[in-house]
Amino acid sequence: MSGQRDRDRTGMPHRAAVLVLALGAFAVGTDGYVTTGILQPIADDFHVSVALAGQLVTFFALSYAVSAPVLMTLTANVGRRAMLHGSLGLFLFANLLGALAPGYPTLLTARVLAGASAAVYMNTAVAAATAMTDERHRGRAVAFVVGGLSLATALGVPLGTLVGALGSWRATLGLIAGLAAVGMVALLLTLPATPSPPPITMSARLRVAAEPAVLLAVLANTCAVAGSFTVYTYLAVFARDVTGLGAAGVSAVLFAWGVAAAAGTAAGGRISDRRGPDRAYLTGLLGVVAAFAALALAALVSRFAEGPATVAFLLATVAWGVLYWIVPGAQIQRVMDRAPAAPTIAVSVSSASSYLGVALGGGLGGATLSVASSPVLPLMGIVLLVVATVLTTRQMKVKEPVVSCAGPPAS
């Protein structure tokens, strides 16, 4: 009876639990990206450069990228319910530690802990959503959970940025910790017991990642994400330098980018279905190159005419948001097509490459800011995106998918 009550009108089982998992994803996504909007107040508070403050994004992402395969392998025999509560509890602690940090080193440590716990939570949440629903509703359940990340980009980040600007960046992290606490309580009330999947060894992950088609797709994805996050990590600073916008204006820019991201995600699915994921991926890459060229041009024009430059900057930012978010969905399909015998492993490896790209982009963007002004950032991004395009073109010529792989099958 309880399972029957916990179905929506179309019969999706455990809908409440899936929505709670999405709430946790919203908290994790907000935490992962909101630092972009509060770099300046953090830098001012701790008397460090914006470039150094930007390494908070880099270390969060690097921790996520490394922790995803390592911790999921080490905790393979731990039940999903314990994993979800444990990871969300550590995530809550990390954000409280960050909110109360007396100095930059403590905040950096908190970001590393937050990245590791976020990696475990997201991987486990997707697996749990898959396990607690039937095959007919599995795609929808996963979409709900991943949708929490998209909603974080569209809503959580601009709101968190506004809170940080009007109040304190510490309040932003405190609110995220509060969301995690709500999620933990809600999981206790809604999450059913689900069977644990067969453990996936590290060697199995490495074998899939080493396949030529998968390796090229993963390397291309790392460069693509790095190119975008070279700019996105410092978007608030870039927007202020080019347009002269204040805190509310910067929040509006981030909100516009987030709404565009949601539109791009939807459009990307349709493009992938019609033209194939490889072509959709290339469309996104080349589109972002064009958008970044427009951003660089807007920065140049801002020296002479701030009004037209602001309009051009906003239009290019929206176009960038739409076009970039074609990429993630297409990438998932690309690696699954190249590893049909082990799609779960391929997707986890690709996910790690995305966060490695975030870390690389944040690091390169910070290095660029230490020697040049923010308008140079999109030019650095274009270089990385061109490399990603070359790798993608090369990968498309590797036709043979992975037909077998050692290790357990995808769960």
What pLDDT digit, counting tens, does each position of 191-237 carry? Answer: 877 666 666 677 777 777 778 888 898 999 999 999 999 999 999 88
Mark whether 190 and 339 lie in a shared domain: no
391-397 average pLDDT score: 89
Q: What is the pLDDT of residue 194?
A: 66
**Element (H or E) spanning 403, and its range?**
none
Mark whether 164 and 298 lie in a shared domain: no
Mark whether 132 and 273 lie in a shared domain: no
- Tokens read off for 336: 């699954």
* 303 in any annotated domain: yes
Domain that holds residue 215: 200-401
Q: Of the residues 161, 180, 199, which one is the last residue of a structural domain?
A: 199
Assign 115 a pLDDT band (cuts: 50, 70, 90). Answer: very high
For residues 186 and 318, the answer to whether their CB atoms sit within 8 Å is no
Mark whether 113 and 77 lie in a shared domain: yes
For residues 323 and 287, the answer to whether their CB atoms sit within 8 Å is yes
Q: Which residue has the tokens 């998992």?
A: 21
Q: What is the pLDDT of residue 124?
A: 85
* Per-residue model confidence as pLDDT tens digits over 138-191: 667 776 787 788 788 888 888 898 898 888 999 999 999 999 999 999 998 888
* Per-residue model confidence as pLDDT tens digits over 320-359: 999 998 888 788 778 877 777 766 677 778 888 888 999 9
Count the neighbouring beta carbons within 10 Å of the beta carbon of residue 204. Answer: 17
Mark whether 75 and 217 lie in a shared domain: no
Q: Tell me how far CA of residue 138 lies from CA of 94, 132, 145, 279, 343, in angstroms.
A: 31, 9, 11, 26, 15
Is the pLDDT at 17 greater than 60? The verdict is yes
Contacts of 80 (CB under 8 A, 6+ apart): 124, 127, 128, 131, 194, 196
Q: Which residue has the tokens 């629903």?
A: 133
Tell me how many degrees the CA angle 292-297-303 measures, rounded to the nearest 5: 135
For residues 125 and 24, the answer to whether their CB atoms sit within 8 Å is yes
Q: Of the residues 179, 199, 219, which one is the last residue of a structural domain?
A: 199
Mark whether 169 and 210 lie in a shared domain: no
* 364 in any annotated domain: yes
- Tokens read off for 174: 């405190």
* 408 in any annotated domain: no
Number of domains in the chain: 2
* 165 in any annotated domain: yes
* 250 in any annotated domain: yes
* 411 in any annotated domain: no
Looking up residue 294, the CATH number of its domain turns out to be 1.20.1250.20
DSSP string, 4-55: HHTB-TT--BTHHHHHHHHHHHHHHHHHHHHGGGGHHHHHHHHT--HHHHTH
Mark whether 206 and 330 lie in a shared domain: yes
Mark whether 292 and 364 lie in a shared domain: yes
Mark whether 279 and 343 lie in a shared domain: yes
Q: Of the residues 130, 164, 199, which one is the last residue of a structural domain?
A: 199
